[in-house]
Amino acid sequence: MKTFPAFIAKEENGTIVSTIQQITKEDLPPGDVLIEVHYSGVNYKDALAAKMGGGVVSQYPLTLGIDLSGIVVESAVSEFKTGDPVIVTSYKLGVAHDGGYSQYARVPSEWVVPLPDGLSLKEAMIIGTAGFTAAQSIHALESAGLHLGQETVLVTGATGGVGSMAISMLANLGYNVEAVSRKKEQSENYLQKLGATTVLSIEDVQLPKAKPLAKPRWSAIIDPVGGPQLAPLLAQLHYNGAIALSGNAGGLKFEATVLPFILRGTKLIGIDSVECPIELRKNLWQRLATDMKPTHLEDMVDQQINLTDLPLAFSKILAGKMTGRTLVKIK
């Protein structure tokens, strides 16, 4: 191993500039596990870090990529040995510690999850941070009282990575799934193939007049979008219903009252995949290889790219034109 490519972002005169550079193992940050990276993915956070900073990256220059899968080539801890297939997502990867858009990555062992039986390295990164966030959302809703059966769950941002994964997982688990998409006509067949029984437009879930409580429609909601649409969603939850909120692509603010919470026992659950405890992380990855494993994984791949294609992929995801997942092949 002499030199190898890495996709590195740096700040020049207030602008974020990204280039592929040849680096060496000595250029990598501290850590006790060295991984040969096979795959990564494109997430909204990656695009923000590459295009506008977005308050995502603490300091440039930085190798981007908030997730990776690959093979251990060096380890200073007994838990991992050379040849082990592994996954790393979240923590400081790709935001304050060099990330997965590199042929090799060195990370703390505390961030590393063994690849579960039932998943390939490629499948793990089709799932990636987006799928893990969807699994964490379902886990949170189950913990809040959602039970298997005929309960209806709404998924917003349905054509995005989190939304697509959530639909497939929920359908496999036996829930009735309704999906919301701004691209209803173009995406209906895709979303129904994933397991959505009903595909709705944004207008279909809004209220003709703003009010704190409306006719209940859903037992739970997975929302990776956030923003003003949260208020009408809260108003339409069943008694003891819950929303798992994991994103802010729709905006940072929403206006609501306390009434859904005190009259219907509604719960608004924040999903933070970044600092998810490692034991829960390992358990969820086990479920992602078994009962939560999405079907039609390959159908969720919008495109497979290499490092040179990343800038175009970032523009596409920021413009809301990506359907499903973009897989980045590194090795």
Do residue 103 and residue 146 come from a single domain?
no
Q: Is 44 exposed, middle or buried (0-12, 13-18, 19+ CB in 10 A)?
A: buried
Is 95 in the same domain as 134? no
Residue 53: pLDDT above 70? no
Structure confidence at residue 296 (pLDDT): 83
In this predicted structure, what is the pLDDT of residue 1?
64
**Strand boundaries in 24-103, DSSP class E:** 33-41, 62-63, 67-75, 85-89
Q: Are residues 264 and 302 in the same domain?
A: no
Q: Within this chain, do residues 155 and 248 fall inside the same structural domain, yes or no?
A: yes
2-18 pLDDT per residue, tens: 899 999 999 888 889 99
State whether 61 and 183 are in the same domain: no
**Does some domain include residue 83?**
yes
Is 285 part of any domain? no
Q: Tell me, what CATH number does 87's domain have?
A: 3.90.180.10
Burial zone of 196 (CB within 10 Å; 0-12 exposed, 13-18 middle, 19+ buried): buried
Dist. CA 256–CA 187, nearest whole Å: 30
Q: How many domains does the chain have?
A: 2
Question: 54-79 pLDDT, tens per residue?
Answer: 678 988 999 999 999 999 999 999 99
Residue 67's closest CA among 291, 273, 277? 273
Supply the pTM of this predicted model.
0.93
Q: What value does the mean pLDDT take over residues 203-230?
A: 94
What are the tokens at 304? 């497979």
Q: Are residues 93 and 199 in the same domain?
A: no
Q: Which amino acid, residue 165?
A: M
**pLDDT computed for residue 54 by the predictor:** 62
Do 102 and 141 fall into the same domain?
A: no
pLDDT for 173-203, tens place per residue? Answer: 999 999 999 888 889 999 999 999 999 999 9
Strands 33-41 and 104-107, sheet pairing: antiparallel
On whether both 198 and 261 belong to a single domain, the answer is yes
Is residue 135 located within the same domain as residue 265?
yes
Q: How far apart, in whole angstroms, are the C-alpha atoms of residue 324 and residue 166?
A: 11
According to DSSP, residue 97 is labeled B
The answer to whether residues 131 and 291 touch, using CB atoms and an 8 Å cutoff, is no
For residue 224, which of 101, 78, 43 has the smallest C-alpha distance?
43
| Listed residue (133, 186, 180) closest to 158, CA to CA | 180
Residue percentage of the chain with pLDDT more than 90: 84
Does a structural domain hold residue 284?
Answer: no
Do 220 and 185 share a structural domain? Answer: yes
Clarify whether residues 159 and 211 are in a common domain. Answer: yes
Q: In the structure, what pLDDT confidence band is assigned to residue 324 with cuts at 50, 70 and 90? A: confident
Residues 152 and 71 in one domain: no
Range of the domain at 188: 130-270
What count of other Cβ atoms lies within 10 Å of the Cβ of residue 57?
Answer: 20
Residue 24 lies in a domain: yes
Q: What are the tens digits of pLDDT across the range 109-125?
A: 999 999 999 999 999 99
